[in-house]
Amino acid sequence: MKKIPALILSFILLLVIIPMLSQIIYCSTQTVVEKVMHLPTQNVDSSQETEASKENVVTVFREESNSYEELLLEEYIVGVVAGEMPAAYELEALKAQAVAARTYTLNQLQSEDYMHDTVKHQVYFDESQMRERWGDEFDKYYSKVKQAVLETEGEIIEYNGEMITPFYFSISNGYTENAEDYWSVEYPYLKSVSSQWDLTAPTYEQVTEFSLTALRNTFNDSSLTKNDFKILSYTDGGNVEEISVGDTVYSGREFREKLGLRSSDFSLEFKDNKVFITTYGYGHGVGMSQYGANQLAKQGKNYQEILQYYYQNVNIIEKNS
């Protein structure tokens, strides 16, 4: 009779223990299944992050050292803004430069593997070069340039849904240039606009002296006289469109490049055996005038307004937005 209560107790324990074991096995299995099911998602995210990080790396060719350097995109843009625009300029002008430089970089990297650190692409300064340029004001200017980049992080310029080629230059002659008048290639967003603020630039007008002999050597014609140099026409932006030198007609751009002039808006004055060429502005004149951008910023314009003035009918958006 004593065995009956024991049997009953064993039966009751089985009724309690079996469901508990089943629940434990189920939960363990569920945990394993959940972990396995999440693995592919984690792998995909990791892969996407890797690809995204690759897209945000810029390879820079350092011409002086003949070496390559890999930089994060925004770090590179800090170096470009430092190299391309005076850090004393207004913050909104520096922000406009940051967006233009970022757009130019990403546009170029669609077809090229690296960026030159010179005017061949964009001037890039590393920290040592910044310190050399800014001296005791390094902390002040570095902080300002970095702020301009961070506050526009990821922003680019688009026209009709495509990244533009945002050319920029130092000082205009009072007007920017139609792209087709300088490069013979038309860009609908690179049209001549007034930039009269540039006339106040301290280095707006510069005189370069040549000997007549030097010009004869440059153009490979020993018979040239002052009467053989004639400006034939001007562009909409007021630059020299064509100039004849002896029997040959050159574009203003070709003449500028042969003599290393600051711009293709120039005048010539002959005295004795010397030639004085006065240039107005500095750079090719296409796109955004950096000096003009600074003057607009001083007038209270923000970086988006500055960019949309110099690049017509464009939108400023965040990349991949």
- What is the rounded distance in angstroms from the CA atom of residue 48 to the CA atom of residue 56? 12
Other Cβ atoms closer than 10 A to 302:
14
Token couple for 13: 């324990």
What Å distances lie between residue 302 and 89, 91, 192, 293, 320, CA to CA? 13, 9, 21, 10, 23
Select the more confidently predicted residue: 98 or 13.
98
pLDDT number for residue 67:
95
Residue 27 has pLDDT above 50, yes or no: no
Q: Average pLDDT for residues 30-52, to the nearest whole number? A: 37
- Residue (of 62, 60, 146) closest to 138 by Cα position: 146
Per-residue pLDDT, averaged over 189-211, amounts to: 97
> CA separation (Å) from 16 to 8, 19, 21?
13, 6, 9
Q: What is the pLDDT of residue 319?
A: 80
pLDDT at 320: 66
Structure tokens at 196: 């009269």
Q: What is the pLDDT of residue 21?
A: 44
- pLDDT averaged over every residue in the chain: 87
**Whether the predicted pLDDT of 44 surpasses 70:** no
Say how many Å lie between the first and final Cα of the chain, rounded: 82
pLDDT digits (tens, 9 = 90+) for 99-145: 999 999 999 999 999 999 999 999 999 999 999 999 999 999 999 99
One-character DSSP codes across 32-49: HHHHHHHHHHHHHHHHHH
- Distance, in Å, from the CA atom of 303 to the CA atom of 102, rounded to the nearest integer, reads 14
Burial category of 206 from C-beta neighbours within 10 Å (exposed 0-12, middle 13-18, buried 19 and up) = middle
Task: Output the pLDDT for position 247.
Answer: 94
Digit-coded pLDDT (tens) for 132-170? 999 999 999 999 999 999 999 999 999 999 999 999 999
**Model confidence over 287-317: pLDDT tens digits?**
999 999 999 999 999 999 999 999 999 999 9
DSSP-assigned beta bridge partners for residue 155: 318
118 three-class SS: coil
Is 197's pLDDT higher than 80?
A: yes
Give residues with Cβ within 8 angstroms of 67, minimum separation 6: 61
In this structure, of 154-158, 182-186, 264-268, 275-279, the range with the lowest mean pLDDT score is: 182-186
Query: How much is the pLDDT for 169?
Result: 97
Buried-state track 37-63, b at ≥16 Cβ within 10 A, e below 16: eeeeeeeeeeeeeeeeeeeeebebbee
Can you tell me the distance from the alpha carbon of 281 to that of 261, in angstroms, rounded to the nearest whole number? Answer: 10
